[in-house]
Structure 1
Amino acid sequence: MYTPAHFAASDEALKSLLNYSGAANLVTMTPDGLLATLLPFVYEPSVGEHGALHAHMARNNTQWSSHATAEALMIVQGEDAYISPSWYASKAEHGRVVPTWNYSTAHVYGKLVIHDDAEWLGRHVRRLSNQHEAGRPQPWTVDEAPERFIAGQLRAIVGVELLISRVEAKTKLSQNRTPADVDGVIAGLRASGDPASAADVERARTS
């Protein structure tokens, strides 16, 4: 990934991406060429030397059964947003501004391990659902569904674990703009109804 120094993700930004992003694209090279699947995941920092991403996919998805032993990639995407040049204070000063796109992303590489057992999958789906149900007024849990129903659902999926070997992460959040331009970006994002992206720019400025 091309990453100028001022867009390199901090350790805190990377941790946030891995812990709070909803899903990632798993990309693998197979005998049929590149395959990709968008998967909700959970970051498990205590697994392996560098942590792991745990996910699952449909048993009928051929990607899990045809994956090669080569390195796999999961592309984690954070908030992203169009940045209008009209938000920059420098537009009124000299006009030498163009549109751009702000985003946060991490390319997570590693070895893919397949888990085809109900015990691993049971732990995983509980961890995944609990992560996304947390904070809701009445959080749903796996145990609310009938046991036989859950057992059938687990038979229809397989677990995928990416044992992390390296990570390339980037946070392109207007760090190359003047303080006045950054103020304009934050105000513009908030006015356009994107407070999450505005908060990311604010955090990048203070980190």
Structure 2
Amino acid sequence: MYIPAHFAAVPETVQRLLTRPGAANLVTMTQQGLVATLLPFVYEPDAGEFGALQGHLARNNTQWSAPVVGEALAIIQGADAYISPSWYAAKAEHGRVVPTWNYTTAHVYGRLVIHDDPAWLDRQVRRLTGVHESGFDHPWDVDDAPERFISGQLRAIVGVELVITRIEAKAKLSQNRPEADVNGVVAGLVARGQPEAAADVEQARQGLRRP
């Protein structure tokens, strides 16, 4: 990934990308070519030196059974947004501004491990469900469904674990713009109903202010 120094993600940003509830594109190279699947995951910090991303695929998805050539890659995407030059104070000052795109992303590389084990899958599904149901007033639990039904569902999936070997992460969040322009970006994103993207810009600004 091309990462200019001023857009290099700080460790806190990488941690947020790994631990936020979301999904990633799992990309593997096989003898037949590239294969990719978007799947939800949970981050397990105690698996390996750098942790692991754990999820599952449909058993009928041949990505899990195709031998992987080299490393596997998970692409995690944070909030992203179009940035209008009309938000910059510099537009009124000199007009030498153009549109851009703000985003955070992490390319997570590692060794893909397959788990065709009902106990592992049961733990993974319960943990993944717990992460996403935690904000509900009446969260759904795996045990709310009949045990025989859940057993059948587990037989239809296969566990995948990306044991992380390295991470490349980028946070392109207007760090290269003057303070007045950043103020305009935050206000513009909030006005467009993109508070998460605005919050990322604010966090990046605070990071630049650290001693």
Q: Structure 1 length as normaliser, TM-score?
A: 0.98
SS of residue matched to 1:188? helix
SS of residue matched to 1:2? coil
- 4+ residue stretches of structure 1 with deviation over 6 A? none
Give the aligned partner of residue 134 of structure 1.
134
Give the aligned partner of residue 203 of structure 1.
203
Change in CA separation of 1:82 and 1:21 when aligned onto 2, cut-off 3 Å: farther
The answer as to whether partners of 1:52 and 1:162 remain within 8 angstroms in 2 is yes
Residue 139 of structure 1, CA deviation: 1.1
Aligned length: 207
Give the aligned partner of residue 44 of structure 1.
44
Q: 2 CA distance for matches of 1:103 and 1:152?
A: 39
The answer as to whether partners of 1:21 and 1:77 remain within 8 angstroms in 2 is no
The answer as to whether partners of 1:76 and 1:105 remain within 8 angstroms in 2 is yes
Give the aligned partner of residue 99 of structure 1.
99
Q: 2 CA distance for matches of 1:189 and 1:195?
A: 6
Q: 1 CA distance for matches of 2:114 and 2:47?
A: 15
Alignment of 1:104-123 (within 5 A): 104-123=104-123
Q: 2 CA distance for matches of 1:23 and 1:86?
A: 32
Deviations 1:58-98 (A, max 9, x none): 00001110032521000000000000000000000000000
The answer as to whether partners of 1:24 and 1:75 remain within 8 angstroms in 2 is yes
The answer as to whether partners of 1:43 and 1:53 remain within 8 angstroms in 2 is yes
Alignment of 1:1-207 (within 5 A): 1-207=1-207
Residue 21 of structure 1, CA deviation: 4.4
The answer as to whether partners of 1:69 and 1:111 remain within 8 angstroms in 2 is no
- Aligned residues: percent identity? 71
SS of residue matched to 1:149? helix
Deviations 1:146-168 (A, max 9, x none): 11111000000000000000000
Q: 2 CA distance for matches of 1:25 and 1:94?
A: 41
The answer as to whether partners of 2:30 and 2:69 remain within 8 angstroms in 1 is no
Which consecutive unaligned segments of at least 5 residues does structure 2 have?
none
SS of residue matched to 1:13? helix
Q: 1 CA distance for matches of 2:133 and 2:67?
A: 31
